[in-house]
Structure 1
Amino acid sequence: MNVINPPFFGQQGFSLRPIEVLDIPDWYEYLRSPEMMAYQGWQVCSAADLAPMIQACRSEVPDAPLRLAIVDDELGRLAGTIGLGAVSQRNRSAELDFDLAPAYRGRGLAAAACRAVAGWALSTCGLFRLQAVAWDGNPRAQQVLRACGFQQEGLLRAYRQLGDKPGDFLMFSRLASDPAPDAKQS
């Protein structure tokens, strides 16, 4: 799911663009922090682990994943990423995923990016269902998803590894037929 013109998300001083290899140092720097390692279901052992992820997003295959950089325009550095994985054009569905560097939390960036990408995916890209999972111990991610119109569907027990232990995750979804979320929520 290659994208040339990502959605506008209206956060002054920040923009969305396709992720690039040049983003790897910033991305790796915050992903390897102990706080991030506790929340993510995938392990990044080195900066080199991120290159294949970026390469997969450059594919022209219809079901290829998408990853966008959330960029601090003033500093020209990566503030976070948001993307669509498990893309299925046949089923018109994908899984939304996002991460934000700890220094950029609490500014509404994740909610604004999530709202913009979800709206764009469900309208412009023709998807009907977006789903997302959030670790049951990560209330911030759950709050972002709810503020962006996602509804909780259930609990996925021992769904993904968090470090060396299985973690329980909450499943959320948003359908194209759902009402658009109020932009003032976050």
Structure 2
Amino acid sequence: MYLCNGAIPTLTGRRLELRTMKNEDAAALFRIWSHPEVVPWLGAPPLSSVTETEQLIALLSKMALEEENLRWSIVGPGGEVMGSCGYNSWQLPGAYRGEIGCDLSPDFWGQGYMKEALELVLEYGFTTMGLNRVEAYCYPDNVRAHQLVDTLGFQREGLLRQYRHTPSGFQDVDLFALLRQEWR
């Protein structure tokens, strides 16, 4: 088990902290997950309320306890919830790979916060979880995501045609991967 006494571990960086999602994060996460500049990249319909966001936080917490995903709130220097990130899924025996996902409030885009957050997530995945490969799936027109994974050392491995079904129909995604031996 990768949780500390049943709790999601807190990861601390230079300017931010990754910690378990809490109900008090729901208002901030609702603003992010329903923001018109963020929604197109989520691949899901925008949330309709803070209550619905609280329900999603509860579901993600339950899934973390069952080791089906691992998602953190990204908390900035002033204690503000800036977004979320983590492992959407992972498989150990037979693969030793995981898939990362992330979202950030547009108020913080271009300041290096997501790079710092994902460096913590990758370090945790490679050293604590024992992953050998971490994957990222990005929509082909999501230039910011492409730049981010490139900066982190991911390699583009190809286009997965009509890989995801979203509210707007089937969508292609670019597959990027980073191997433990390439990390750092």
Report the TM range for the smaller structure's normalisation: 0.7 to 0.9
Cα distance, 1:141 vs structure 2: 0.6
Aligned residue identity for 2:83 = G
Counterpart of 1:18 in structure 2 is 20
**1:68 maps to 2:60:** no
Aligned residue identity for 1:99 = D
Given that 1:54 and 1:67 are in contact with CA atoms closer than 8 Å, whether structure 2 keeps it comes out as: no
Deviation per residue, 1:103-122 (Å, 9 max, x gap): 01110011111122112211
Higher helix share: 2
| Runs of 4+ that moved beyond 6 A | none
Counterpart of 1:138 in structure 2 is 142
Cα distance 1:93–1:34, how it changes in 2: closer, same or farther (>3 A)? same
Q: Distance in 1 between matches of 2:155 and 2:52?
A: 32
Counterpart of 1:8 in structure 2 is 12
Name which of 121, 125, 139 aligns with 2:125: 121
Cα distance 1:41–1:116, how it changes in 2: closer, same or farther (>3 A)? same
Aligned residue identity for 1:82 = C
Counterpart of 2:81 in structure 1 is 78
Q: Distance in 2 between matches of 1:163 and 1:60?
A: 29
Q: Distance in 2 between matches of 1:144 and 1:162?
A: 23
Given that 1:37 and 1:163 are in contact with CA atoms closer than 8 Å, whether structure 2 keeps it comes out as: no
Counterpart of 1:96 in structure 2 is 100
Counterpart of 1:153 in structure 2 is 157
Counterpart of 2:48 in structure 1 is 46
Aligned residue identity for 1:83 = G
- TM-score normalised by structure 2 residue count: 0.85
Q: Distance in 2 between matches of 1:33 and 1:109?
A: 18
Cα distance, 1:179 vs structure 2: 4.0
Q: For this pair of structures, how many residues does the alignment match?
A: 176
Cα distance 1:150–1:52, how it changes in 2: closer, same or farther (>3 A)? same
Q: Distance in 2 between matches of 1:172 and 1:96?
A: 10
Cα distance, 1:16 vs structure 2: 1.5
Name which of 68, 90, 105 aligns with 1:87: 90
**Structure 2: where are the runs of 5+ without partners?**
none
- TM-score normalised by structure 1 residue count: 0.84
Given that 1:136 and 1:168 are in contact with CA atoms closer than 8 Å, whether structure 2 keeps it comes out as: yes
Name which of 25, 31, 48 aligns with 2:33: 31
Given that 2:89 and 2:99 are in contact with CA atoms closer than 8 Å, whether structure 1 keeps it comes out as: yes
Aligned residue identity for 2:164 = R
Cα distance, 1:101 vs structure 2: 0.4
| Coordinate RMSD, CA, aligned | 1.9
Q: Distance in 2 between matches of 1:49 and 1:93?
A: 30
